[in-house]
Chains A and B, each alone.
Chain A
Amino acid sequence: MLLTNRHINIKRDLCKTPPFAQCRRLPRGMRSLFLWGQAQISILKILNVFLRLKLSPFLALNKIERFAKVSKHKVICIVFAVLWLLPVPVSAHKVMIFAWVEGDTIHTQSKFSGGKQTKNAQVLVYDPNDVLLLEGKTDENGMFSFKIPKRTELKVVLEASMGHMAAWKIPIQEITGSQSESNTLATVEEVTATSPSSSESIKIAGEVSEPSTMELKKKEIQEIIDTSLDKKLRPITEMLADSMECGPGLAEIMGGIGYIIGLVGIALYFSNRRKKE
């Protein structure tokens, strides 16, 4: 399970402490499950201490016991059944696609919110006029890469199954970037190369020839810088792609529940007023 980098860091720190050291050997997906299990065991231990010390009144277990006519242990069992049902990171139904340019290729990464990769999903690439340029499928890691088909603003659309869709726009600056500069240089060269017909212009061409080689060198240097920059920036762009997924946080959940409570309040207020009238 892919988590945000912050989570991974927290987990790395956790893995250093003795009880969790063994989890480093586990594959990524299992690791979070393992840690979740460990967390539950510690909760259980704390609960046990409470029960031993006859502190259960603080947990209001007795009240629940009387209320629901079930034993204390059953209550604890139910609590843990619910805890097990809740997965470690909250996640659900949304897909995301993130695209970045590296040289003349565009890489895309797709996932469901919660970090699960979308395998075998359709990726469609459109130009600004909504003309389909190319399509492909994501691999096992939710990745799909393709050569830049057209130097315009591109729209990358992910169509996962069951009516899920997401889009990512790549602005024209990102695609042309340095290339636009070198392209204009190239056109200048072409102009100077085609124009000479008389002896005068040959002279001019001769004069121009020196800067043009310099321009060529410039172009080469530009390319070298671009490739090395791409290489250096790759981990950062990947990190960015990873952190793109951010499932709903506690604030959103609480906000939603608050909304519902508020709506109930409003509904009750109005129905109450109607009754009085």
Chain B
Amino acid sequence: MHISEGILSPAVLIGGAAITAAGVAVGMRGLDQKEIPSIGILSAAFFVASLIHVPAGPVSVHLILNGLVGLILGWKAFPAILVGLALQALLFQFGGITTLGVNTLNMALPAVVCYYLFGWGTKSGTGLYAFIFAAFASGFCAVLMAGILVGLSLYMTGEAFLPAAKLVVAAHLPVMLIEGILTAACALFLRKVRPEILEVANAPN
């Protein structure tokens, strides 16, 4: 899911970086002190998740966990994912510094979209099945959308869109399922143990 350096055209790189900067600004605006630790924890989870490798045919894919990050943090997923990706680029050489903006956009935007689509389901007062469904769908759709966005960024540089997007999405099918289950499990655990964490991003900026 990390796009390497030297693949995308400068226009795509700059566009991605600009949108990411805007997203980070929205996420950082009116940041409450109480939210900082949970942003850090989810950023760390995102950072480590990329090391969990899922065997999927001819390509190499790994967990992303952007659904979980988005579900809990909302717009604050942008800074969390930016930090995680920057450290992955520096320490693991996944992706790259110039592609940081595009990569952050590709993973954080689906997270925010999932927050708006499924965030209602994980607040207090929803039934158990609706809760599980919302969490699963969030994990599943975040990876799906990230795959489509990666295909789109490749397309804007000249690769044919459909084959590129199809390949990315197909390769990530097992990841989507695993992420869905993982997100549901994590959200359920949090609901039992620390329900207030799920309420952190209750009022998006």
Contacts and interface: CB of A to CB of B under 8 A. Distances in A.
Contacts of A144: none
Contacts of B88: 256
A259 B51 contact: no
Nearest to A252: B91
Given A92-B50, A114-B60, A257-B47, A248 B92 contact: yes
Given A257-B48, A260-B40, A92 B60 contact: yes
A94 B62 CA distance: 11
A268 B32 CA distance: 10
Given A87-B52, A91-B53, A161-B167, A264 B39 contact: yes
B65 interface: no
Contacts of B168: 161-162
Nearest to A275: B33
B196 interface: no
A101 B28 CA distance: 52
Interface string B156-179: 000000001001100100000010
Interface string A76-87: 000000000111
Contact of A68 (B7, B36, B193): B193
A261 interface: yes
Interface string B65-107: 0000000000000000001100110011111000000000000
Contacts of A120: 58
Contacts of A90: 51-53
Nearest to A87: B53
Interface in A77-115: 85-87, 90-95, 112-114
B92 A263 contact: no
A72 B121 CA distance: 29
Contact of B47 (A67, A159, A247, A260): A260
B53 A68 contact: no
A253 interface: yes
Given A93-B50, A259-B87, A261-B40, A68 B60 contact: no
Contacts of A259: 87
Contact of B2 (A86, A93, A275): A93
Contacts of B93: 94
A116 interface: yes
A165 B4 contact: yes
B125 interface: no
B11 interface: no
Contact of A92 (B33, B84, B94, B171): B94
Contacts of B171: 161-162
B154 interface: yes
Contacts of B3: 162-164
Contacts of A69: 192
14 contacts: A91-B53, A92-B92, A93-B62, A94-B2, A112-B60, A161-B171, A164-B3, A165-B5, A252-B91, A257-B44, A259-B87, A260-B84, A261-B44, A267-B40
Given A93-B61, A114-B60, 8 more contacts: A68-B193, A92-B51, A112-B59, A113-B92, A162-B1, A163-B2, A256-B92, A260-B40
The 10 closest A-B pairs by CB, nearest first: A264-B40, A163-B3, A112-B60, A252-B91, A165-B4, A256-B87, A248-B92, A91-B53, A271-B33, A92-B62
